[in-house]
Each structure stands twice: as structure tokens, then as C-alpha cells.
């Protein structure tokens, strides 16, 4: 048990699942679900290993950095893998009912590829290997968006592909500069050898710009709402919940490990962009008339919060940011699934015509409401803990003004969530004939929304995981 390389299995199993689904399309649902369960078990195994033995480093091929590629798992990567596993399982269950058999055979190999890319990305300790995983992730995500067909989805996918490739190339140029400055692409070795120079600044700029584009931080968010809103529902959920978080994770790793010298002015700039993203995303979310677009703009807004930790740059702030990421992943997946159920049920997602959804789809509305509670940051949800940590960090570091945006953003979120819920209770002028929503779709949404709330009730546990390997350093004063 102790010697099993769980981390490697977490990456290779979805690849094997992909190959199996590709070879036997007619069996893709059982093959895919089996793979999903196996991946969840392996993530649990890795979690046990990391909790018992501390952060893990694994030298692929036995060479070790700088010659070979290392995998590295600490509390940060473990939590990312775990949230991916939970959301991934939910999406897998949801998609069994969502896709018709023909589409399903196309969906599964792509989705398992994407899962493999995510797991490989969270475990990689090598900035060039991260480039390859980013490309794998981007291409899989684009193909999944295009799965919806139709003009909106295809143009959304095309724009997304161009943006994703541009981001990767900018990142890769930064990698080239770092390699030629320090002779390694391993994060730990770069961290040791790092010293300020114009080259390093250029690398920071190029890599950060590429990753911010992929993370869709304001003003580089333009591609996100059309792509996320026009994709098939399970895909919208996994894009908003996981894919944008992956590039944020890479950015976080780089900032924490190899760019600590950049924290001052650039951190303030990122915080400021985050503030604008919160306000702008919230404002546009309020103005949307379609549910999936509203949720997509809400993602733009919530991504803004993540960047509030950069100007504060204390351990509590990073923990708050990560906590927000985790609870947003769960809540946003649930929210998109709920929207998908409403779309499936009524054939449209016009907010003004949500005809008594409350009576007809009580589970779905409950899921939407619970996810909304977490997005607003109300207790006892995970969103509350996250905002509390960020609030504490901003007061402690004397930069209390960042706290205002947390409260303002919460109010805006409340406004657009309540708008949707309000329409769901009223009878529309034109009543609709509606089809039944399969039970797995409703329960998957509710389960993820509940998980977002539970994340707040059991806060000490994830907070303890975040300490493993000290990814965020030690808090200076307590």
C-alpha cells in the first residue's frame, strides 16, 4: 500500500480509460464510469499517502530533476486533485443521462483525456511538462465545447482555441527564457537558483500573461462567457469549475515558488484587476437574460476574488483564495448542472420565462439555491470560510480596503441569484409543456451543491491539508 505510486495511477488510469473508450465506443458509458470510480479511489489513496508521509516527490524514470521530470504532491496539489475527483465524479454521473448514446461515445474519450490532463497538471513539478499538460487540457476543452454543434458553440470553441494557443505560446517563451537563464525546468531547482534579472522579469511577464489569458482575468475574460455558456451542460460545468482553475493553479505555483520577488507592484496590479473583474462580472451577470450566460459571467466575477490574495500575499490570504477556488468549483458545477436541468426540462433558459420551476424541479432549485448560498459567501458554506479568511488577511495586513470588495461582491451575487430564484417561483405568461428530467441529473447537481456547503461545515479538515508541505509558507505572526 505504502509503495504504490498513486500519483502515477491518477494520471495513467484516465489515459487507459480513454483508449478503452476509443476502441469500444459502444461500451463507453460503463468503461468511463469504471474509470471515474478508479480515479477517485486512486486520489483517495494518494491523499492517504500524503497525509501519512507528508509531501511526495516522484522521479519519473528514476533520473530526478534536473535531467528527468519529477511529480510532486503536497497539500495544494492534493486538494486540487480531490476537488477534481469530486466534480469529475458528479459530471460523469450527470453525463450518463445527459448525452444520447451517439454523443456519449464521443464525450467520454475527450472527457477522460481532459481529466488525465488536469491530474497531470496538478502533479507536475516541471514547467515544460506543465506546457504539455496545458496544451492537452486546452485541446480537450475546445473539442468538448464544439460538441454542442451550432454556430454559437463552434465560434465559441474557435475563439477559445486561438486564445488557448496564444496563452500557451506566451507561457512557452517564458519557459525558454527561464531554462536558458538557469539551466533547469524543475520548479524546486529554479526556486533555489532564482535571482532577479531583466530576463526573469520578462519570463514572469510572459508566463503570467499567458496564464491570465487562460484564466480569463479581466480584461482578458472576453472569450469565456460565450465558450462556457454555449457548451453542453456537463462541459460548461467542468470548464468553469476546473479548467480555468488549472491555469490559475499553475500561476499560483509559479508565484509561490519561483517568483516571490515579484510580489510587490505586480501583486497590487493583479489585485486591482481582480477588483474590476468582480465589479464588471457582477454587473454583466445582473444584466443577462439567459441563465447560462448569467452563470458564465458569475464565473468571471468569482475568478476576480481569487486574485485578491496576490496583493496581500500572506499565508492566510493564499488559503482564503484556495478555499474560494475549491468552494467555487463545487458550487459552479452544481449551478451549471441545475441550469442544464432547467434547459433540459423547459427547452430554454430565458430567466424571465422560468415557469414555476420551483414546483416542478424542487431538487434542481434546491441545488441552485445551495450553490448560490456558497457563491454569496453566507454561512455555513465553503464560500463563507473563504471570504472570512480573505477578510482576516486584509485586516491583518492593514490593507482593509480589499475587504470592501468582498462585501460588495457578495451583495451583487445575492442580487442575481435572488433574481433567478424569484422567477423560478412565479408563473410565466406562456406556460410550457415540459419533459421529465432524469434523476441522476438532479441528484448530481444537488450532491455537488451540498458538498459546497459541507466544505464550510468541515473547514478544519481542508485547512489542515493545506499545511502539508507548507505550499503557502508560514504565517509570520499569529
Partner 1 sequence: MIEKTKQKTLFRLVLIMLLSALAAGLGYVVLSLPTQAPGLSEQVTANLVRSGVSNPVTAVLLNFRGYDTLLEMGVLLLALVGVWSLGGIPEQRKSSPPGPVLDMLARLLVPLLILVAGYLLWVGAYAPGGAFQAGAVLAAAGVLLLLAGWRPGTRFSGLPLRIALVTGLGIFVAVGMALILLERRLLEYSPSFAGALILLIEVAASLSIGITLAALFLGGRPEVEPRR
Partner 2 sequence: MSHVFLYALVGVGLFTLGLYALIVHPHLLRKILAINVMGSGVFLVLVALAARTGGAVPDPVPHAMVITGIVVAISATALALALMLRVQVEVGQAGLPEERLE
Query: Residue 55 interacts with partner 1 (CB under 8 A)?
Result: no
Query: Residue 142 interacts with partner 2 (CB under 8 A)?
Result: yes
Query: Residue 143 interacts with partner 2 (CB under 8 A)?
Result: yes
Measured from the CB atom, the residue of 146 and 333 that comes closer to partner 1 is 146
By DSSP bridging, strand 56-59 and strand 70-73 are antiparallel
Considering CB distances under 5 to 8 angstroms, the limit depending on partner class, which of partner 2, partner 1, none binds residue 14?
Answer: none
DSSP one-letter string for 260-312: GGGTTHHHHHHHHHHHHHHHHHHHHHHH-SBHHHHHHHHHHHHHHHHTTHHHH
Query: Residue 122 interacts with partner 1 (CB under 8 A)?
Result: no
Which residue in the set 29, 79, 143, 224 belongs to the binding site for partner 1 (CB under 8 A)?
A: 143
Considering CB distances under 5 to 8 angstroms, the limit depending on partner class, which of partner 2, partner 1, none binds residue 343?
Answer: none
Is 464 buried (19+), middle (13-18) or exposed (0-12) by CB count in 10 A?
A: exposed
Which residue in the set 34, 181, 263, 399 belongs to the binding site for partner 1 (CB under 8 A)?
A: 181
Q: Which of 241, 200, 244, 243 is nearest to 221 (CA)?
A: 244
Look at residue 147 and give its three-state secondary structure. coil
Choose the binding region for partner 2 from 137-145, 308-316, 393-401, 405-413 (rule: CB under 8 A).
137-145
Q: What does the alpha-carbon distance between residue 306 and residue 390 come to, in Å, rounded to a whole number?
A: 10
Mark 3-22 with x for binding to partner 2 (rule: CB under 8 A) and - for no binding.
--------------------
Query: Residue 166 interacts with partner 1 (CB under 8 A)?
Result: no
Kindly determine how many residues on this chain lie close enough to bind partner 1 according to the rule CB under 8 A: 52
Q: What does the alpha-carbon distance between residue 110 and residue 84 come to, in Å, rounded to a whole number?
A: 16
Query: Residue 33 interacts with partner 2 (CB under 8 A)?
Result: no
Q: Which of 113, 253, 128 is nearest to 191 (CA)?
A: 253
Which residues are 71's β-sheet partners? 58, 124
Which residue in the set 1, 151, 474, 476 belongs to the binding site for partner 2 (CB under 8 A)?
A: 151
Q: Which three cell numbers stand for residue 64?
A: 530526478
Which residues are 124's β-sheet partners? 71
Which residue in the set 33, 44, 132, 188 belongs to the binding site for partner 2 (CB under 8 A)?
A: 132
Minimal distance, residue 8 CB to partner 2, in Å? 20
Distances (CA, A) of 141 to 45, 136, 232, 432, 467: 27, 9, 11, 33, 31
Query: Residue 247 interacts with partner 1 (CB under 8 A)?
Result: no
How many angstroms separate the first and last alpha carbons of the chain?
38
Look at residue 186 and give its three-state secondary structure. strand
Which residue in the set 38, 158, 272, 343 belongs to the binding site for partner 2 (CB under 8 A)?
A: 158
Is 3 buried (19+), middle (13-18) or exposed (0-12) by CB count in 10 A?
A: exposed
φ, ψ of residue 70 to 5 degrees: the values are -105, 150
Residues 161-220 contacting partner 2, CB under 8 A? 161-162, 165-166, 169, 172-173, 176-177, 179-180
Instruction: Indicate if the alpha-carbon torsion angle 387, 214, 88, 436 is positive or negative.
Output: positive
Which residue in the set 135, 257, 353, 392 belongs to the binding site for partner 2 (CB under 8 A)?
A: 135
Contact between residue 144 and residue 111 where contact means Cβ atoms under 8 Å apart: yes
Measured from the CB atom, the residue of 230 and 302 that comes closer to partner 2 is 230
Minimal distance, residue 151 CB to partner 2, in Å? 4
Minimal distance, residue 135 CB to partner 2, in Å? 5
Measured from the CB atom, the residue of 132 and 421 that comes closer to partner 2 is 132
Residue with cell 424542487: 362
Which residues are 59's β-sheet partners? 70
Which residue in the set 29, 79, 140, 367 belongs to the binding site for partner 1 (CB under 8 A)?
A: 140
Considering CB distances under 5 to 8 angstroms, the limit depending on partner class, which of partner 1, partner 2, none binds residue 279?
Answer: none
Which residue in the set 54, 101, 150, 183 belongs to the binding site for partner 1 (CB under 8 A)?
A: 183
Minimal distance, residue 184 CB to partner 1, in Å? 7
Considering CB distances under 5 to 8 angstroms, the limit depending on partner class, which of partner 1, partner 2, none binds residue 166?
Answer: partner 2
Contact between residue 295 and residue 336 where contact means Cβ atoms under 8 Å apart: yes
Q: What does the alpha-carbon distance between residue 174 and residue 199 come to, in Å, rounded to a whole number?
A: 9
Q: What does the alpha-carbon distance between residue 88 and residue 92 come to, in Å, rounded to a whole number?
A: 6
CA geometry: angle 248, 107, 330, nearest 5 deg: 40
Minimal distance, residue 176 CB to partner 1, in Å? 10
Measured from the CB atom, the residue of 175 and 278 that comes closer to partner 2 is 175
CA geometry: angle 384, 388, 392, nearest 5 deg: 175
Choose the binding region for partner 1 from 44-52, 191-199, 390-398, 465-473 (rule: CB under 8 A).
191-199
Considering CB distances under 5 to 8 angstroms, the limit depending on partner class, which of partner 1, partner 2, none binds residue 73?
Answer: none
Q: What does the alpha-carbon distance between residue 421 and residue 441 come to, in Å, rounded to a whole number?
A: 19
Where along the sequence are the contacts to partner 2 (CB under 8 A)? 128, 132, 135, 139, 142-143, 146, 149-151, 154-155, 157-159, 161-162, 165-166, 169, 172-173, 176-177, 179-180
Return residues touching partner 1 (CB under 8 A). 3, 5, 8, 12, 15-16, 19, 22-26, 58-63, 66-69, 106, 109-110, 113, 116-117, 120, 128-129, 132-133, 135-136, 139-140, 142-143, 146-147, 173, 177, 179-181, 183-184, 197-199, 202
Amino acid at each position: 500500500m505504502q509503495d504504490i505510486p498513486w500519483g502515477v495511477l491518477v494520471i495513467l488510469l484516465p489515459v487507459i480509460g480513454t483508449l478503452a473508450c476509443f476502441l469500444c465506443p459502444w461500451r463507453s458509458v460503463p468503461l468511463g464510469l469504471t474509470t471515474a470510480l478508479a480515479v477517485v479511489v486512486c486520489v483517495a489513496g494518494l491523499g492517504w499517502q500524503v497525509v501519512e508521509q507528508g509531501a511526495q516527490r516522484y522521479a519519473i524514470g528514476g533520473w530526478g530533476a534536473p535531467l528527468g521530470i519529477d511529480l510532486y504532491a503536497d497539500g495544494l496539489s492534493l486538494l486540487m486533485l480531490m476537488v477534481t475527483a469530486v466534480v469529475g465524479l458528479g459530471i460523469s454521473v450527470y453525463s450518463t443521462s445527459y448525452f444520447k448514446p451517439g454523443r456519449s461515445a464521443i464525450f467520454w474519450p475527450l472527457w477522460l483525456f481532459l481529466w488525465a490532463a488536469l491530474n497531470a497538471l496538478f502533479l507536475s513539478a516541471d514547467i515544460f511538462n506543465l506546457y504539455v499538460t496545458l496544451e492537452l487540457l486546452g485541446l480537450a476543452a475546445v473539442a468538448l465545447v464544439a460538441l454542442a454543434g451550432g454556430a454559437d458553440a463552434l465560434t465559441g470553441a474557435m475563439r477559445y482555441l486561438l486564445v488557448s494557443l496564444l496563452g500557451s505560446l506566451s507561457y512557452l517563451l517564458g519557459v525558454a527564457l527561464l531554462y536558458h537563464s538557469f539551466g533547469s525546468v524543475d520548479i524546486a531547482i529554479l526556486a533555489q537558483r532564482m535571482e532577479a534579472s531583466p530576463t526573469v522579469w520578462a519570463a514572469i511577464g510572459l508566463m503570467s500573461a499567458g496564464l491570465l489569458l487562460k484564466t480569463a482575468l479581466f480584461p482578458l475574460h472576453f472569450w469565456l462567457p460565450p465558450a462556457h455558456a454555449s457548451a453542453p451542460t456537463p462541459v460548461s460545468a467542468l470548464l468553469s469549475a476546473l479548467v480555468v482553475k488549472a491555469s490559475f493553479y499553475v500561476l499560483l505555483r509559479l508565484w509561490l515558488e519561483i517568483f516571490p520577488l515579484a510580489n510587490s507592484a505586480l501583486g497590487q496590479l493583479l489585485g486591482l484587476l481582480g477588483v474590476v473583474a468582480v465589479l464588471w462580472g457582477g454587473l454583466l451577470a445582473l444584466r443577462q437574460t439567459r441563465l447560462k450566460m448569467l452563470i458564465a459571467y458569475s464565473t468571471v466575477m468569482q475568478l476576480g476574488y481569487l486574485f485578491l490574495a496576490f496583493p496581500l500575499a500572506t499565508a492566510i490570504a493564499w488559503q482564503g483564495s484556495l478555499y474560494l477556488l475549491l468552494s467555487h468549483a463545487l458550487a459552479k458545477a452544481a449551478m451549471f448542472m441545475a441550469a442544464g436541468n432547467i434547459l433540459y426540462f423547459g427547452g430554454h433558459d430565458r430567466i424571465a420565462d422560468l415557469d414555476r420551476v420551483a414546483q416542478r424541479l424542487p431538487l434542481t432549485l434546491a441545488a441552485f439555491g445551495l450553490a448560490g448560498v456558497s457563491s454569496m459567501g453566507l454561512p455555513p458554506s465553503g464560500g463563507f470560510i473563504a471570504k472570512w479568511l480573505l477578510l482576516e488577511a486584509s485586516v491583518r495586513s492593514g490593507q482593509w480596503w480589499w475587504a470592501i470588495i468582498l462585501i460588495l461582491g457578495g451583495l451583487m451575487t445575492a442580487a442575481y441569484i435572488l433574481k433567478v430564484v424569484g422567477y423560478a417561483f412565479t408563473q410565466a405568461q406562456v406556460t410550457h409543456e415540459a419533459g421529465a428530467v432524469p434523476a441522476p441529473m438532479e441528484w448530481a447537481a444537488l450532491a455537488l451543491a451540498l458538498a459546497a456547503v459541507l466544505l464550510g461545515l468541515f473547514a478544519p479538515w481542508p485547512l489542515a491539508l493545506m499545511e502539508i508541505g507548507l505550499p503557502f509558507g508560514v504565517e509570520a505572526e499569529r
